[in-house]
Structure 1
Amino acid sequence: MNEAQQEERQVGKVTLELDGHVAVVELRDPPANFFDRDVLAAVADAGERATAEGARAIVLCSQGRHFCAGARLADATGGLDPRASAAAVYEQAVRIFRFEIPVVAAVQGAAVGGGLGLACAADFRVAGPKSRFEANFSRLGFHCGFALSLTLPRIVGQTRAELMLYTGRALRGAEAYAAGLADRFAELGEERAAAVALARELAGAAPLAVRSMRATMRAGLLDRLEAALAHELDEQERLWRTEDAATGITASLERRDPVFRGR
């Protein structure tokens, strides 16, 4: 791929732009940028295509106010087969985790639930003053997903990950950066530019060496990935049937605090 080459391709709600050795993969469904199986498949296709065409680093970003609010709650509880829907999402998530080149997520606004999982699938995250990283599953009444049981402790440490998961409390902007959940902190509106700058730095290193070291560093995560996703899905399916999950999801949709009864 020529260094000066720049083009953009779109599949559904996802675009791929190749600029030299950096690929920019963008979700385009603002403001929340929810995902489903097809959106994640398009992200996976874009990343794999970019790698095949010579990209050395990927910027994962979103259009509009927020990075990603995860899957729509109705997809988890209102579909004909919520387990099958979630399993299809996780199948595509595995493809994203298995990208061969580094990924930098530009997180403006919220990365919530599965959106946090998507951000944590990246190697690095860039935050800004209004970024919000939130594992809200306990406030919805069911188990975390998108392999956050693996990725979040790797990034912020076991105890901090447990605190985020058990309470559902968000880490915002500078607090996320201080906790190591974000690797760069940018001015408001400059999150993507900072992510591209980091991706260019990564792309400027010896590509074979970067790929080799990345494979070494992520081997433990990838070895455990599918088993972790399967366990998370089993627990999600079990808890979706509870009164607490119905309470939490309804309260979230109605923008009020839930009152859980432990059943």
Structure 2
Amino acid sequence: MTSSAPEQTAAPITVERTPDGVAVVELHRPPHNYFDVPLVQQIAEAYAELDDDADVRAIVLCSEGRNFCAGANFGGDGERTAGISTDVAGSLYAEAVRLFSVRTPVVAAVQGIAIGGGLGLAVSADFRVAGPGTRFCANFSRLGLHQGFGLSVSLPRVVGRQHALDMLVTGRRVGGEEAFRFGLVDRLVADGEIRGRALELAAEIASVAPLAVRSIRATMRAGLADEIAAITEHEAAEQLWLRGTGDFAEGVAASLERREPHFTGR
């Protein structure tokens, strides 16, 4: 399926360094910060450059606007999107693997919604700071689609198999307080304080021994990038055949029409 929204040719992000060893990587596609291959590629390239900067000891990933990231755009608003077109899946997931290969700790400041691939982007970070009003959603099943962006591996690593299975199978929205209870959110703060507290956490990380931090992190994330590379091939293959089903067509139509889907299993 091809997105009905115009393809964006630039990946608008900015990178700013603070005096305390933190780099802020910010997405600028408000209000929903939909992603595409160029955007994820630019994030990955920023991470690679920051990895080689000895003055940068932690990264904050954040977004301008109402929502952290609403995934890929099917032509609806931020509540009604997930997934990507078949012809770009391989390229997108290759860039996603690069995000998981970063050596510098990443703190995601997650406001509004992180849905579909946007959830995958949030989970690629080491830590997530969110508020009670933040919503996390793996809405793939509600579109008749298999999850992507490595969530098959990354989400269970963060929240455990059963919580991940719950989110993936039901496609339900999980609020910030529930997400904090089962470990998807590391710091639950007031909605208006998300970015500031993410910067504080990153500065705390930047204040401790950087070689030890990288060593500890490498141990804790051992094999993750390789697992993501392998699973995204499987995810893309599952998404490919499911895009040819009537349930997928119904799921996308229902999301764009703001109604409940009526799936038939065909």
Cα-to-partner distance string for 1:114-171 (whole Å, 9 max, x where unaligned): 0000000000101102100000000000100001010111111111110110000111
Q: Which residue of 1 aligns with 2:18?
A: 19
CA gap 1:134/1:190 in 2 versus in 1, 3 angstroms: same
Aligned residues: 250
How far does residue 189 in structure 1 lie from its aligned partner after superposition?
Answer: 1.3
Identify the match of residue 107 of structure 2 among 88, 104, 121: 104
How far does residue 36 in structure 1 lie from its aligned partner after superposition?
Answer: 0.3
How far does residue 77 in structure 1 lie from its aligned partner after superposition?
Answer: 11
Report the secondary structure of 2:34's partner residue.
Answer: coil
Cα-to-partner distance string for 1:20-63 (whole Å, 9 max, x where unaligned): 31010011101110000000111111122222223111000000
Aligned-partner Cα distance in 1 for 2:212–2:108: 22
Q: Which residue of 2 aligns with 1:125?
A: 128
Alignment of 1:1-263 (within 5 A): 12-20=11-19, 21-53=21-53, 54-73=55-74, 82-263=85-266
Aligned-partner Cα distance in 2 for 1:106–1:128: 9
- 8 Å contact kept, 1:77–1:240: no
Report the secondary structure of 2:259's partner residue.
Answer: coil
Greater shift in the superposed pair: 222-231 or 139-148: 222-231
Q: Which residue of 1 aligns with 2:3?
A: none
How far does residue 83 in structure 1 lie from its aligned partner after superposition?
Answer: 2.4
Greater shift in the superposed pair: 211-220 or 113-122: 211-220
Structure 2 unaligned regions, length at least 5:
1-9, 76-80
Q: Which residue of 1 aligns with 2:78?
A: none
| Structure 2 length-normalised TM | 0.90
Greater shift in the superposed pair: 46-55 or 99-108: 46-55
Aligned-partner Cα distance in 2 for 1:71–1:147: 15
Structure 1 unaligned regions, length at least 5:
1-10
2:37 partner amino acid: R
Report the secondary structure of 1:55's partner residue.
Answer: coil
**Sequence identity, in percent?**
54
CA gap 1:179/1:143 in 2 versus in 1, 3 angstroms: same
2:17 partner amino acid: L
